[in-house]
A and B are shown apart, each in its own frame.
Chain A
């Protein structure tokens, strides 16, 4: 009964000889598509069109990284220059500094941003009263709903020479103008904003899995460290792995809206990162091709990092990656 309504694409394969397999598969696929045309026309087509227009056409647009783009000639007919822009970028005195700034700010971000939500979730799971836990979580999630502009505005207020931090310290330091404090400001504010929200996924996994096991472990005389090591961590390990790989793969795509908002002329030596540079070169200086080349360089590093981290994790984690 069901099979007639929801036909199985492979159903006919067993009946027909192997030589006809390919042909018959195509035939049954066509039959399926005809029968379920709504799935294709109504459901799949609109999102697929948006995907092709707004994701794949720009992907083809990276061609301009290898051209001297001219708006009059367009992407397809602009003058082809090969790797000129990449060479210019790699040879420019800014290159090393930009690369290191980007790597450092995101590495520090990962170093704090990966373990802290896990620790927070482990702590929260020890709070027995559901009511209190819910209230605490509500507070922990709040910063996630505050905008980049407001967070940056708050930072600028708090750290201004006449702001509360300086009033408290009795000094008048202009933190926003110090290159040496940019990374700390950036990472600390990300921790402030994101830790609570990032802990949800671990909290949910912990509350689902470990209640009975923890009780059993307590009866067996396990202390808290042993409980965490043997019950809690195994329960969240798969999620930890995925989160780690994903954030490592995103290492070059720093939340650049905040970096841009926190930039001042004076902290540029550390706050200028590849994505903000791409923006300035492209949209402010109008150097479209060069900017695209830098952006492409950035995303290639990203993909390489993702693949490398994934294969390392796979090796360490008995073949489990993404």
Chain B
């Protein structure tokens, strides 16, 4: 601390003011992120009438768990939650598996056909069929109202393939040479050497794809009519965006005014319940973030 203070004192006046305003800038940004989140969490514990009339209060007699008990009473939320866990996990595994398969040959300098195949991938980054042709294809393949409509069309992610390929390329060539001397085929090499060595990038890709699937709603909205198949985001969409709580949550509320207030309260607890899993999970991956992103930024 003393050393730091000395260093700081040595700075010129303009450097000092820049440094201080920089710290203030970061602090403001951090506050701008935290305050809305904390507000939501606290509001989710409030009694709806108090919340409407006087806003947040720290008078704990006005706090209640009502929002949460009502959210968990609704089986659609729970089913949506488990559907989302399934979609996100399956999608992450399929998509990352496909990514690694595609990336491995492309990382080999001797791979014949590399140019053509890479070009085929890259084109799709900049041009696509768009909404209706994709929808018609999924319809023609009879995938509407099946889990495959969610899992397959987006499974190819070219950006991730480039990321993984670049990571593979950064590994020493001797790895393959050594395993080849031991008589390992490409498949053996891939499973026994590459996958263990590439854990950091695989972890990041799995997280990206899991998060992407967990947070998306549009594909489910257009491909899944069946209420049983709906993911969490689609269920909470009706509560948060369309302002219509699930009937089971508010069945006992009598007056229209009380219902409106309850609808408001349910929004807060719904947000907390649906966002908590990812917000608890991502810090465990933090050490991989830089690595994963840097691998992709190397031009190739």
Contact = CB atoms under 8 A, between A and B. Distances in A.
Contacts, number: 274
B153 A204 contact: no
Contact of B293 (A75, A164, A200, A292): A200
Contact of A260 (B30, B218, B243): B218
B217 interface: yes
Contact of A156 (B29, B190, B240): B240
Interface in A117-135: 119-120, 123-124, 126-128, 134
Contact of B233 (A60, A147, A282): A147
B178 to A, nearest CB: 10
B131 A295 contact: yes
A154 B36 contact: yes
A103 B187 CA distance: 48
Interface string B206-222: 00000100111110001
A275 B137 CA distance: 19
A226 to B, nearest CB: 10
A5 B129 contact: no
B236 A153 contact: yes
A50 B132 contact: no
B33 A149 contact: no
Interface string B168-189: 0000000011001100011100
Contact size range, B = 35 or more
Interface string A198-225: 0011011101100000000000000111
Given A6-B110, A158-B36, A225-B18, A238 B134 contact: no
Interface of B: 4, 12, 14-15, 18-19, 22-23, 25-26, 29-30, 32-34, 36-37, 39-40, 52, 55, 98-99, 101-102, 104-105, 108, 110-113, 117, 120-121, 124, 126-137, 152-156, 161, 176-177, 180-181, 185-187, 190, 211, 214-218, 222, 233, 236-237, 239-241, 243, 264, 267-268, 270-271, 274-275, 278-279, 281-283, 286, 289-290, 293-294, 297, 299
Interface of A: 1-2, 5-9, 29, 32-33, 36, 38-40, 42-44, 46-48, 50-51, 53-62, 64, 75, 119-120, 123-124, 126-128, 134, 136-143, 145-150, 152-154, 156-158, 162, 164, 167, 192, 195-196, 200-201, 203-205, 207-208, 223-225, 238-239, 242, 249, 257, 260-261, 275, 278-279, 282-283, 288, 291-292, 295-296, 298-299, 302-303, 306, 322
